[in-house]
């Protein structure tokens, strides 16, 4: 990017995330935020009025979707370059966005590590797609196929073995805390019996009940801990290692998750042993009213389950009435998992 000021319009309906986007972009002296909005129709109006060099545009917007807003902006401000930033990672959605003439698409879970690089690429006339979308081929506005040449970053100290891995990121909803403990204890016992190392991210009360239940079922938890195969951690302490301004920071998450998984992998027994993890990071955030943060955390953990030798179980104590009241969040969370069940 040139040292002269590049004028940027930021559009996102979730204010905390919009602030995060703005603060990230301001790290580059070349970028100047000239406008912000949370509404799709207002985004079109501001784009026409401001004629910004770059528009960072969410897809899920009120009044007018980001896709439709981009379609109108292309006519009213044709020189503005568009960089989509969204929770959506479905290939068909990305294809539709890029086919409109946008050059960039960043999945929100990766914004902390990718946003500035994406802005630079788009302003330079190059396509940029999040690393989770690599491997797909997307047609741009002219119909030409374009792919991002960057390679995926490996988690620290852990070898990537995609050819050997089947994704296992399961979600269980429990009626109460007792059912939660039974479900997690079943998962932990089976994992330890298979020679796996197990990471447990839970509240103090749940960790205490899990230990009691596992011991009652003949599991030698003390020995497993001494061997490094049972790693119980406080969920609040874990969240504090990667949450920034109410949202997960992808770079910090990768460091925290990478260190945990790498340490657990060393303790696993046998050639076919795997790392297993169960926890309530996202459920804790949702319970605190941080639904978007919860979904982003699930997406980040899903990448760990998808790309690395990890079996994962997420547990939510959630009654049916709340599921209906917050149906949109419930469906978004379910979409980040390989299997969903209730107990």
pLDDT of residue 160: 31
CB-CB neighbours of 259 under 10 Å: 15
Give CA–CA dist 308/301, Å, rounded: 10
Give CA–CA dist 184/200, Å, rounded: 9
Backbone phi, psi, residue 60, to 5°: -80, 90
Q: Which segments within the chain are labelled E, that is strand? A: 6-11, 31-37, 54-57, 81-86, 104-107, 128-129, 138-139, 145-146, 168-174, 197-202, 230-234, 243-244, 247-248, 275-279, 310-317, 339-342
Q: Catalogue all structural domains in the chain, each as residue range(s) with its CATH number.
A: 6-146 (3.40.50.2300), 162-342 (3.40.50.300)
- Residue 104 tokens read as 């960039």
SS3 171: strand
pLDDT of residue 156: 34
For every residue of 284-330, DSSP letters joined together read HHHHTT-HHHHHHHHHHHHHHHHHSSEEEEEEEE--HHHHHHTHHHH
Say what the pTM is. 0.54
- Burial zone of 92 (CB within 10 Å; 0-12 exposed, 13-18 middle, 19+ buried): exposed
Residue in the structure block whose two tokens are 């929770």: 87
Give CA–CA dist 256/184, Å, rounded: 22
**Mean pLDDT of successive 10-residue stretches along the chain, which has 343 residues:** 77 88 91 96 97 95 93 95 88 86 86 89 90 57 44 33 54 93 96 93 97 96 94 96 93 89 82 85 95 93 81 88 79 84 81
CB-CB neighbours of 235 under 10 Å: 21
pLDDT of residue 197: 94
Give CA–CA dist 59/13, Å, rounded: 9
């Amino acid at each position: 990017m040139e040292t002269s000021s590049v004028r940027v319009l930021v559009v996102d309906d979730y204010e905390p995330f919009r602030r995060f986007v703005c603060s990230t972009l301001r790290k580059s002296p070349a970028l100047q935020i000239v406008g912000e909005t949370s509404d799709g129709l207002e985004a079109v109006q501001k784009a026409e009025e401001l004629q910004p060099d770059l528009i960072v545009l969410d897809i899920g917007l009120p009044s007018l979707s980001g896709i439709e807003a981009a379609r109108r902006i292309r006519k009213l401000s044709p020189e503005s370059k568009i960089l989509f930033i969204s929770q959506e990672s479905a290939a068909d959605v990305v294809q539709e966005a890029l086919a409109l003439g946008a050059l960039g698409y960043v999945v929100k879970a990766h914004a902390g590590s990718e946003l500035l690089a994406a802005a630079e690429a788009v302003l330079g006339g190059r396509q940029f797609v999040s690393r989770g979308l690599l491997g797909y081929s997307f047609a741009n506005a002219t119909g030409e196929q374009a792919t991002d040449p960057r390679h995926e970053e490996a988690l620290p100290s852990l070898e990537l073995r995609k050819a050997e891995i089947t994704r296992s990121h399961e979600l269980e909803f429990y009626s109460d805390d007792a059912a939660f403990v039974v479900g997690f204890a079943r998962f932990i016992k089976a994992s330890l019996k298979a020679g796996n190392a197990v990471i447990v991210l839970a509240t103090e009360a749940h960790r205490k009940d899990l230990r009691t239940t596992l011991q009652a079922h003949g599991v030698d938890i003390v020995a497993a801990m001494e061997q490094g195969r049972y790693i119980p951690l406080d969920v609040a302490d874990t969240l504090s290692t990667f949450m920034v301004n109410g949202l997960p920071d992808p770079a910090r998450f990768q460091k925290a998750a990478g260190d945990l998984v790498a340490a657990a992998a060393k303790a696993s027994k046998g050639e076919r042993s795997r790392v297993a993890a169960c926890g309530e990071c996202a459920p804790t955030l949702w319970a605190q009213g941080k639904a978007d943060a919860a979904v982003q955390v699930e997406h980040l953990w899903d990448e760990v389950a998808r790309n690395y030798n990890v079996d994962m179980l997420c547990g939510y104590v959630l009654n049916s009435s709340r599921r209906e009241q917050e149906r949109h969040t419930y469906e978004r969370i379910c979409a980040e998992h390989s299997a969903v069940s209730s107990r």
